[in-house]
């Protein structure tokens, strides 16, 4: 990579390059992603000499080479890059496969938490139907589709579906588009779906997949199922997983990180981990390997001479090993320097950035329930309630792994929560 693609000024880094860390990967402007390919490569596949290859490599290999309709699970700590990995997989596989990407949150939003196998199948059907919406013939799938649609049209008030005519394909896809939207916005519809036999739904999904698969093999990338509640996730990836196993395509699904450690998942699972920053929770210095990796990541975006090594180390220490949090700290420090007209980022800027972001998080914890949860997590290192898990989603709590996952408050909040604890030990 030629150096001219990297940021050469504090301002350029603050307002453009460093934002790669905090923007969702899907949101990267094309020219942005194009300019920084080696950054994402390193992010997804950090060097780990002597260990097994990174999940993205393993999954690519399996999806390309394994026969049949294999199902693969991807998990990882929040912020470890699951979505990014799926995005990358989609890009890499696009030349050989029909890639169908499904995002559970895009479809269910806040109701995602209690997802079941039938929900997953409906979402899949909707995504597949959207994919075939431009096709004029659904030959081969019509029977299954019609049967299925007929079950719902009377209950949901959706447009009626014509008999099997020439325009059936077009109409049916319109139906699905509306149906997918209805599921997202109408809980009653969703409840009705759950009442339908999974076998019926499976029939429809497979009919559509078979149709799509006539041209090229299909790979389904199912994101955000890692955000389901634990009880649902145990059900979905435990007893209900056999239903998903019968889907006629290769699939990658994300699952909640802690479920991986519960011995209920029998499918091969690839694990993404945040970067281990310290040797122990009480260590005062960051691991040299972590510093090297984060510095290398940074060097693919900006000229590292723009920032003091000590400032980078401070950001690593407060990142919790989460690349996005590291980037947020760096971006804020560069922003502060840019606003000051400084041409170099030093420890003072980083201190200000750390303070700023700590305050931002602290102000977001005024709710007494949230405070109670944070102090509980700080003390027990566990997530005991759904509220605790919510804190993980809000990035107020960070997930670590030492054999098994454990939890702590975001490093920026440690002192704040400790001060609450000193009041109510």
Contact footprint for other proteins (CB under 8 A)? 11, 14-16, 19, 22-24, 26-29, 32, 79, 105-106, 109-110, 184-186, 324, 335-336, 338-340, 342, 346, 348-349, 351-352, 355-356, 358-360, 362-364, 366-367, 370, 390, 393-395, 419, 422-424
**Closest residue by Cα to residue 328 from 395, 402, 251, 272:** 395
CB of 385 to other proteins, least distance (A): 13
**Residue 160 vs 393, nearer CB to other proteins:** 393
* Angle between the N-to-C axes of helices 187-195 and 142-156, in degrees from 0 to 180, rounded to the nearest 10: 130
**Residue 71 vs 324, nearer CB to other proteins:** 324
CB of 30 to other proteins, least distance (A): 9
Q: Report the alpha-carbon distance of residue 282 to residue 34 in Å, rounded.
A: 40
**Closest residue by Cα to residue 222 from 267, 185, 178, 182:** 267
Q: How many CB atoms lie within 10 A of CB 185?
A: 11
Distances (CA, A) of 271 to 13, 53, 77, 172, 256: 31, 11, 9, 38, 11
CB of 117 to other proteins, least distance (A): 22
**Residue 146 vs 324, nearer CB to other proteins:** 324
Q: Report the alpha-carbon distance of residue 8 to residue 30 in Å, rounded.
A: 21
Pairing mode of beta strands 71-76, 250-254: parallel
Q: Report the alpha-carbon distance of residue 250 to residue 298 in Å, rounded.
A: 35
CB of 267 to other proteins, least distance (A): 26
CB of 395 to other proteins, least distance (A): 5
CB of 109 to other proteins, least distance (A): 4
Q: How many CB atoms lie within 10 A of CB 255?
A: 25
**Residue 106 vs 171, nearer CB to other proteins:** 106
**Residue 146 vs 328, nearer CB to other proteins:** 328
CB of 43 to other proteins, least distance (A): 16
Only one residue has tokens 């698969």, namely 213
Pair 254, 78: CB distance under 8 Å: no
**Residue 44 vs 350, nearer CB to other proteins:** 350
Element (H, E) at 270: strand 269-272
Distances (CA, A) of 133 to 19, 26, 127, 208, 210: 36, 23, 10, 11, 15
CB of 27 to other proteins, least distance (A): 2
**Residue 158 vs 387, nearer CB to other proteins:** 387
Q: How many CB atoms lie within 10 A of CB 303?
A: 16
**Residue 231 vs 359, nearer CB to other proteins:** 359
**Residue 249 vs 365, nearer CB to other proteins:** 365
Q: Rounded to 5 degrees, what are φ and ψ at 34?
A: -65, -35
CB of 151 to other proteins, least distance (A): 23
Element (H, E) at 353: helix 347-363
* Angle between the N-to-C axes of helices 288-299 and 323-340, in degrees from 0 to 180, rounded to the nearest 10: 60
């Amino acid at each position: 990579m030629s150096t001219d693609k990297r940021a050469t000024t504090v301002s350029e880094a603050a307002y453009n390059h460093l934002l790669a860390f905090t923007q969702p990967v899907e949101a990267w402007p094309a020219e942005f992603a194009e300019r920084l390919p080696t950054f994402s490569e390193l992010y997804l596949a950090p060097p780990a000499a002597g260990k097994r290859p990174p999940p993205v490599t393993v999954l690519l290999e399996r999806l390309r080479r394994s026969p049949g309709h294999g199902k693969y699970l991807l998990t990882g700590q929040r912020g470890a890059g699951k979505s990014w990995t799926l995005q990358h997989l989609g890009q890499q596989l696009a030349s050989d496969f029909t890639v169908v990407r499904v995002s559970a949150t895009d479809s269910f939003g806040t109701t995602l938490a209690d997802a079941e196998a039938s929900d997953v199948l409906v979402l899949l059907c909707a995504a597949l139907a959207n994919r075939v919406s431009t096709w004029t013939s659904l030959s081969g799938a019509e029977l299954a589709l019609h049967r299925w649609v007929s079950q719902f049209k009377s209950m949901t008030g959706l447009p009626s579906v014509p008999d099997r005519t020439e325009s059936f394909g077009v109409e049916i896809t319109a139906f699905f588009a509306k149906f997918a939207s209805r599921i997202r916005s109408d809980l009653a519809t969703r409840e009705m779906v759950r009442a339908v036999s999974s076998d019926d739904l499976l029939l429809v999904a497979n009919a559509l997949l078979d149709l799509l698969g006539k041209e090229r093999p299909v790979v389904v990338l199912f994101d955000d199922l890692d955000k389901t509640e634990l009880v649902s996730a145990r059900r979905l990836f435990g007893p209900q997983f056999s239903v998903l196993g019968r889907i006629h395509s290769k699939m990658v699904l994300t699952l909640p990180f802690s479920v991986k450690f519960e011995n209920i998942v029998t499918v091969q699972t690839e694990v993404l981990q945040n970067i281990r920053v310290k040797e122990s929770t009480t260590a005062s210095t960051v691991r040299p390997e972590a510093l090297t990796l984060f510095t290398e990541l940074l060097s693919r975006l900006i000229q590292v001479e723009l920032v003091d090594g000590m400032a980078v180390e401070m950001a690593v220490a407060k990142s919790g090993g989460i690349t996005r949090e590291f980037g947020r700290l760096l971006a804020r420090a560069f922003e502060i320097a840019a606003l000051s007209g400084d041409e170099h980022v030093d420890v003072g800027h980083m201190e200000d950035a750390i303070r700023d972001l700590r305050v931002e998080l602290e102000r977001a914890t005024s709710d007494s329930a949230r405070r109670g949860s944070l102090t509980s997590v700080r003390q027990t290192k566990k997530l005991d309630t759904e509220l605790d898990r919510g804190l993980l989603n809000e990035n107020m709590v960070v997930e670590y792994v030492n054999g098994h996952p454990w939890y702590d408050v975001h490093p920026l909040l440690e002192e704040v929560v400790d001060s609450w604890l000193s009041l109510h030990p």
